[in-house]
Each structure stands twice: as C-alpha cells, then as structure tokens.
Structure 1
Amino acid sequence: MDEQRESLRKIITTLALKNEEIQNFICCLKQNLQNLEANANRVQGDLDLEFSSLHAVLDELKEGMVTRIKQERASRTYELQNQLSACTKALESSEELLELANQTLCSSENDSFTQAAKGIKDSVTMAPAFRLSLKAKASDSMNHMMVDFTQERNMLRAIAFLPVPATPEIQVAECQVFDNTVTVVWTLPEPDSKIDHYILEHRRTNHEGPPRAREEYPWMVVEGIKENEYTLTGLRFETRYMTFRVKACNKAVAGEFSEPVTLETHAFVFKLDAGSAHQNLKIEDLTVEWDSSGGKSGTTVQDIRKDKNRTNSPMHSPARPAVMSPKRAPTARVGRDRFTAESYTVLGDTMIDAGQHYWEVRFDKESKAFAVGIALRSLGRFDQLGKSNASWCIHLNNWLQQSLTAKHNNKARTLDCPIPDRIGIHCNYEEEPSSSSLLYQRLWCGMGVSQCRRDSRCPASC
C-alpha cells in the first residue's frame, strides 16, 4: 500500500509539473498571438506609409510636369497670338490699299490719277504685309512633353519585401594593424543596394583561435558604418590579439555575423607597476615622479611595440621594462617595498619573454639623473639598473655636465651623441648575444628624425 501511495504521489507530481509546463506554453502561445497581431499591424502600417510616400512622390512629379506643360503652352500661345495680331493688321491695311487702287483705276482725270498712283506706289512700298514673316514663330507640337514609364512600371512591379542581407566576409589580407589603430575590411558575396549600414563588433583576447564561450573581455559595438571598411583608432594594445565580426543591415532586418577573425596586435602598451616602485616614487599610469615630500623629476613611458611573438628559449630569461629615478635619501614608511635603499626603481607591469619590442620614454628637462632599460626577473631588491648582470640601461646625468651612458654589470660606455628629447629601447630576443657586446640586449637612443638615418621610432641603429 505504501509503495502504491508513493508511486501515485510521483505520478501526481509529474502530472502537476506537466500541467504547469502546458499552462506556461499556453500563456506563451497567447502572447505570441498578441505579438503577431501587433507586429502584423505595425508592418502593414509601415507598408501603407511607404506606398503613401511613393504616391506623394508621383503626385509631386506629376504636378511639376503639368506645370511645365502649362508654361510651354502659355509661352507658345503668346508668340502665336502676337504673330496673328500683326498679320491681321497688315491684312486690313493691305485691303484698304487694294480698294484705293481699284478706285484710282476707275478715275478718268489724268492729274488725279497720276497723283493717286504715286501715293499708292509709296504706300505699297511701306506696307507691313511685305515685311511679315509667313512662318509660325512657335510650333504647335507638344510631343516632347510626353513621358514613357514602361521601365519604371516594370521596376515597381518588381518591388518585393526586403530580404535578409547576406553575410559579409572579412578580408584578412586587407586588414591592417599598426600603432594604435586597426583597419578592418570586408566584402559581400554579391552587391546589395538595399544595405543601409553595417555593425562591427570587436573584443580583445589573448587566444589566437576562434572566440571561446567565456572570454575575459566583452564585445564592443560600432554601429552605423556606411562603408565596407572601418578604422578603430585610439586603441591600447593590451592583449596579444583582437577578434572582429561584422553584419550587414538593411532598413528592416540585420543579417548574420561574419565568421570571427582574430588579428594579432603587433604592439601593446604597458603601464608601470606601482607595487614594484620604491617608496619615494609616485606612479600614475605611465608617469614616474617624486612624491610631494621632495623635488620633482618625471619620466613617461610612451609606446611599447611587439613586432613578433616567439616561444621563449632557455638563453633568454623573461625581462621587464624598468625606470630608475635619481638618488635621494629614503624616508621611513610602513611596509616593505619591492626596491629599497638606493635602488629607486619601478618595473613595467608586462613581462617580456619573446619577440622584438620597442618602447620610448620622455623625460622632464629638469630631471637631474635617471635611467631606463630592462631587467631580468632576478633583479634584486637592492640592485640598481645597470649595476648587476641582470639589468641593462641607458643613464642620463644632467647635473654639472651632461652625459649619456649605456650600463650593464656595473660597466659603462659613454654614448657620443646629443641629449635627445626621448630615449627609445629595442629589445630583440631573436638575435643571439655577442660576447664582445657591452649590452646583452641592444638599447637604442631615439634622436628624432632629423638626427637619425631612419625614424627614431623604428628599431634600427642610429
């Protein structure tokens, strides 16, 4: 009996759940019917508006054409009526002269006949009938005002509901990625004059393949694109790749998104890691300067470019961009810093472990001394840039006498060049180190275009 009761309870529970599902489905169907009615009325109203606007265009076109016909008729009527009036007056004058000539012929007096004949001769010479043109000044044909709407009627008969736009295809070979911009180019399988605009979506990713179900970065949307390409500007390449997809839209409906395309960002912008900074350094995004308790000497990281990404080799340990500020007596502060004592240093927040990289640092003209370069992960808490075998740097001394030196493993080499406006560093993991080279990684000094054989932002020797 208990088993039967339990079985019956399960059946009741199942039926109750099924009944609830059916009720929900019935509500859904009723809602769909209401939506269908509303959407059908909306679409029909839009159709009426479209045809009303088409009728309005035709009425406006007809009114303009009728006005031109009336103007042409009035102009020609005026010309012909003037010509008719002139001819009527000339005919009346000619008839009077003809009657006078007939009367003169019947005269028997020689003197009066001679005088009358002479007057008639003079009158005939001056008669307006002999000065009139007997060709109509205006034609009576109006055939040039006729129209033929055969082609237009065929076009109107071909009017149909707007189709779903075709799916675009992103042309990877024509897309460009450089500096802080990305240009995306796409095409349609066949031309479509009904396309109103395109919608482009993009998001950052560190995965090379197709987009994953769960991505760290959301899709960003760009709407209202009128051309078959779009350039995103002001980007910050903080990931290795960016994924793009695009869809076409007409006035009524949008098509499907294109297959996502992932483009490698050959550059990225790093920030400075405030957690690694000495206690006397104030870090704000890309700027290094003294805190408010002392003097000011600031440097700013401008760009870092990654030309290629390759797997790390055992000979090339991971390194990080680094900036060392001028020496200054430390002050007490609660907590332990990444760098202490005389190592007034801050590291970048991005680890470099492969490829070619280039970045630039701009500095305050009032800076007395600072260094910029790279440091291996093994850089100690008390190590200054260039004073150990784990760091390389370019050091600017701007005290009594200006000097620019390259430092590594506590050795320095003076650079015979003017003090630049910015310092550029090129880190090349693809080139094997030379035993005779002072620097394990090459550091280039950006001199500006006027003092360099190439653009100083290029990783080329100056």
Structure 2
Amino acid sequence: MESLERDLSCPVCLEMFNKPVLLLPCQHNLCRHCAEDILTNMGGWARYGGSFKCPTCRDQITLGRQGLDGLKRNILVETIIESYRVAQSAGIKTAPPGGGAYCRDHKDERVNLYCVTDERPICGLCVIGQHNQHNIIELQTIFKEKKEKIETEMNRLQQKNSDMSKEMSDIQATLRIIEVSLLNTKAKLLSECESLITLINERKDALVEKLEKEQRESSRTLREQIASRQTRLDKSKKTAAWVEDMLGKKDVAQFIQVRSSALDRADRATTSSPADDDFGSALRARRTAAASALERIERTTAALLDDASDYRSPSSYRTTSALDRANSALERGSSALERTSALLEGRRAERTERASAILGTERDRDRDRDRNESLSTSSRHDDIDTSAMSLLSRKIGLTGSFVDNSWPGLLFRLDPKTAHRDLKLTNGNLTVEWDPDYDIDVEDSVERFLGYSVAVLGDKAISSGRHYWEIDVSESRTYRIGVCSRDAQRDSIIGNTEDGWVLRRNAREYTLRHDVNSPVRLAMQHDLDKIGILLDYNRGELAFYNADIGLRLHTLKAHFVSPICPAFSLWDGVVTVVSGCPWPDFLLN
C-alpha cells in the first residue's frame, strides 16, 4: 500500500493528488493548484501560456494559449485516488515518501527528491528554484545507494571488530601462557638456586673439615716431634752436666769406677733412634702429603667455583691465595723444625767429640754393638714399610711388583672419531671434558655423535667374555656411563634406546636406563666418585659398583646381539677412564 500511495502522490506537495489532476505531455501527473504555484513562481500565467520543467523527469513543458486549461485531466488517476480513499477511510495514513522531513527552503513542503550537486534532500518546489540546473534524482534511489554503502561500511566495521576481538583473545591466551611459564621458570630457578646453595654449603663444610683434619694431623705430628726432641735435649743437657762434673773430680779410682756408666749414658744421649734418624725424611714426606692434600682441595674448590660461576663473589677468588698461604706456612714450619733438628744434631756431635776424647776406644766398640741392634731395628721398620706399601698398592689398584694380579682390567681409550663436538678429549684420550665452546677441526662422519647425543665411545668393541673397568666421575654431576652397541644411532641419547645400558646421574638423582620407558631409580646416600663396571657378555649381565667401597649398586640383564663398546655421555665437568686397572678384591673374593 505504501508503494501505491507513493505512486499517487504529487511530486510537488507530496500529498495525494487533488482534483483536478493534470496529465503532462511527458505522461507525468501534477495537481492543478501545484502547477499554478509553479507558473506563479516563474512569473507566468496559468491561463495564457508559459513553460516550466516537469518536477519528476525535468522535461520542458510548454503551454499553449489556453495555459493549464489546454492540458488534459487524468480521469483514471482521479478515479483510482477516489477508490483508494474510500478503501482507506477506516485505516491509518502512511507517511509519504521522505517521511516527516520538511524542506528547509520551503517549510510547508516535504522532501521527496535529492540534489546530487548539493548533496541534500529537496522538495518539488526547489526543482524550479535554485536547484533548477542541478542533477536531481529520486529520494528512494539515493536512499538505497546510501543505505547499501552504510551497510557495507557496517559489515566492514563488524568484521574489523571481530578480528580485533580474536586478536585480543589470542593476546590474552599468550599472556596467560607467559604468566604460567614465568611462574614455572621462577619456581625452577628458585629450586636450582636452593640446590646450588645446598651443594656449596656441603662442599664448604667438607673442605673446612678436610683442612681442619690436615691441620690437626700436622700439628699433632709436629708437636710430638717437638716434645720428643725437647725430652731428649733435656736428658742430653743433664748427661753433659754429669760428665763435666765427673771430669772435674780428682779421684782417679772413682773416675775408673764410673767410667762405664758415663760411657753408656753418653752413648744413649748421643745415639739417635731410628724414628729420629728418619725424622727429616718423614717430615719431608709429611710436607709432600700435605701439599698434595692442599692441591686436591684446590682442585675441588676450583671445580666448585666453576659450578657456581654465575653466583661467584669477589671473596671466592681469594680461596687459592689462602691455600697458598697455608701451604707456605706449613713449609716455613717444616723448615724451622729442620733447622732446629740440625742445631740439635750439631750440639750432640760436639758433646760426642768431647766424650770420645775422654772415654777412648771402648765407646767405639759399644757403638758397633748398638749400631748392629739399630740396623736390626731399621730392618724391621723396612719390613713394616714394605708391608704397608703392599697393602696400599692393593688398595689403590696399582700394577707392578707389589701386586700379582692375574685378572687385568679392560684396556681401552676413548675414540676421538666418535666424540661429539662439545666434548674435549685429553690425557691421551683417557679424559673427556664437556666444553660447549670447544670446536674440533674435523669433518662430521657417520661415527660421530650429533645433536643432543653428547657422547663418545671407547675404542674397543666387546663381543664375548668378562671385562671390568672403572671411571672417575668425581668432577661431574650430569653424565651417563655404561655400554651401547657399536652401531648405535649417533643422534639418539644413549640409554634411551634398546641398544644402550647406562647409569645416569642428574644432580642428586641416580637411575639405570635401558630404553626410555624402563628407568630404575637408585637410592644413594652419598655421591659416587668412582664407578666400577663389570660386563659379562656371554651371560648378558652388566653390573655397576661403587668402586671406592666395593658395593654393588645394581645388575642389568641384557641380551647382547652385536659388539658393544664402553659409552660415556656428559653435560657437565670432567670424566676420566681408569683403563687397564686390575680387578679389585671385592670381585676376586
């Protein structure tokens, strides 16, 4: 109905056509009174001709002498309007085209056209006025065009809002991930710091205890020697005073009677015991042992400082100088004791010469007897030293004349062709050090371990028999020690596949690994310093030992189908192979 009402509306007054309705030559309709208003505004006369433009199509309408009376009435439109009004008499009148807006130039006229030139809505009277020569289109046409454009912009805006919402969701998700990651990283950092602090405190306590033990032993030995020398010096002084007093007596008979007693006392005062004769060498040996202990402590301290390099303070750099001062003080104390010993020896020799001049050749005869007894005593001491050396040799596993061992260990070295580029081989290819800055100048090959598999193999392949070797791991906290197939994949971590069997340490955690899905955790009260490995290829057994105390840690059962090699993988510190060592007593018993 709105469309019909729009078609029956006058383009000038925007109201329903009023009788009479004139039919223009361009076939558009116009209310007569609206046509009269147009001619009046143009200065023409409705009854005597004139011309004007059609408000709808802009065609020029020329009137004859009869003016508007010469135009035909559109009886059909009038009839339709009359019927429409009868049909709608009980209804509500819809708004004309243009809605309820009025023209700003003609206050009583509703807008029904659009001036493209001025870009604003106008009424029918504006067409014959200031917008006479402008580009005029219907209001509905521009409405559809503007509406479509606005709808397009609205769709683009909604799409942009949707994209921005999605971006905000992504940013919020990323923010949550970052926050969770930061919390996890912070917790891990705090845990690692606590572990490092605990390790430093433990190492500090151990070093302090070791230094104090060395100090106590050194002080006790030196004090015993000083006390023994002081006692002998006091006795020697008393003997010298007694001999001088005897020499001053004039009674010859009395002198002859006490001669033998004077000779014995002088000999006992001037003859040194085997312990005193060996004091110089014992002191030098003690000083050498102390220096060796200090050197071990320095190495341990240096390794500890390397572990805590990121948290090192200026005071840490003074540790070495403090150990040097302690060593120097020990050397000065030893030198002072040697000088004291030399002074005492000089005084004893002087008294001996004086007593020899008085007592004659009998002293020489008695000294020969005492020397024979001393040699016998020294011989007994030599036997004890030899037994101690033999026991020590068995303890540390030396080969040579002290130990007759018919079970030699596996003799091998590390194979540089298999070493990962982050591993540095030294000590005749017996020591491997993790050094990520180290870059060997060789080409990669199929034998070299790559990627995350930071490993190296021994240069001996085992396909039968029983074999034993040891590894010093005291300077590493992250390693994998064991065996793997000679043809193991070079980009797979040993122990994570079916062709590798290892003991793994990560900080304080020890596990045995063969295939990533079957780890065996070991409960360790103390860190391992030396690991012993016993391989029985034919029985398919691989046993791990604490080589320092002879304790078996665990035995892995395996089925070896190809030659295997000793395998080493580490991400921290230094590991040294003890190659060719004899089988220890705890395996032979």
Question: Structure 1 or 2: larger helix share?
Answer: 2
Q: TM-score, normalised by structure 2?
A: 0.26
TM-score under structure 1 length normalisation: 0.33
Higher strand share: 1
Larger radius of gyration: 2
